[in-house]
Amino acid sequence: MAFRDLMARLGAGNATVDAVLDHPETTPGGTVSGTVTVTGGRIAQDVQEVRVELVATVEVESGDNSWREDVTFGTTAVGGAFRVEPGEQRRIPFSFRVPLQCPFTSLDGWRLHGMKVGLRTRVDIPEAVDPGDVDPVEVLPLPVQRTVLQALAARGFSFKGADVEKGRLRGSDLPFYQEVEFAPPRDLRGRVNELEVTFLADPQGVEVVLEVDRRGGLLTEGRDVGGRVYVGHADTDGAAMGARLDAAIRQLGARRGWL
């Protein structure tokens, strides 16, 4: 028995965990729900806590180096203390709110390259290897975010890519932020290299952060981030949104001297 206890602590014959989502898609501010199944291993084990958490893959920059790492956010406990017997299955339903500033990973059926958000399930068993489980989560943009992206496309900006940067902006709730990158339209080529857009959502609306020709370094509170436009969640009129964004971009261009 002592040997079996030791092997379980090292992960051999340990309890296993699996999470099944009710729906594969969600939105910022939406919910993620499903069921966690904990299956006992070769010996009885005491579980202290079962929790689920969202994980985003973010880019980290330091000097001339950059790398990617997983950052946890949106953690919630879904199960308290219990004992799982050998071969026993415990099913625990869960449902929790997705943070409003969660990055979106797909748009109109197109998965954004490099954007990864997942649901990690953790089981705390004293003196044992945590039998974790990670499942991908597809996050769709909010309607107003989609309207902003479509309005920029109608203005002639072409999508280049998206990533998640580690750090904070003024108004950030999370330790990272998403940047959506656009190439400029024909009338701005030669004066604008790139437009980067960040969405900072709150319960009332979304602050759209516009940055043009960024020359390296993280956007921080002490730095001029270009322009900001605040729109409500109900502001989904494409023509009106296009006019607001065009005015903001031109104001930014006049201030920086490229218009």
Give the pLDDT band (50/70/90) at residue 249: confident
Q: Quote the CA–CA distance of 230 and 223 in Å, as a whole number.
A: 19
Domain layout of the chain by residue ranges:
2-139, 143-256
Give the pLDDT band (50/70/90) at residue 79: confident
Residue pair 210/252 in contact by the 8 Å Cβ criterion: yes
pTM of the model: 0.84
Give the pLDDT band (50/70/90) at residue 3: very low
Non-local CB neighbours of 194 within 8 Å, separated by 6+ positions:
160, 181, 182, 183, 184, 212, 213, 214
As a whole number, the mean pLDDT across the chain is 85
Predicted confidence (pLDDT) at residue 218 exceeds the cutoff of 50? no
Q: What is the mean pLDDT of residues 61-81?
A: 87
Q: What is the mean pLDDT of residues 237-244?
A: 95
- Percent of the chain's residues with pLDDT above 90: 62
Give the pLDDT band (50/70/90) at residue 12: very low
CATH 3.40.640.10 correct for 2-139: no
Which pLDDT belongs to residue 139?
97
Predicted confidence (pLDDT) at residue 2 exceeds the cutoff of 60? no
Angle separating helix axes 238-256 and 143-155, nearest 10 degrees:
60
Which pLDDT belongs to residue 93?
95
- Percent of the chain's residues with pLDDT above 70: 85
For the chain, the maximum distance between any two Cα atoms, rounded to a whole number of angstroms, is 77
Q: What is the mean pLDDT of residues 61-75?
A: 87
Non-local CB neighbours of 171 within 8 Å, separated by 6+ positions:
200, 202, 207
Predicted confidence (pLDDT) at residue 220 exceeds the cutoff of 60? no
pLDDT tens for each residue of 107-141: 988 899 889 999 999 889 886 666 567 899 999 99
Give the pLDDT band (50/70/90) at residue 23: very high
Which pLDDT belongs to residue 243?
94
Cβ atoms within 10 Å, residue 65: 7
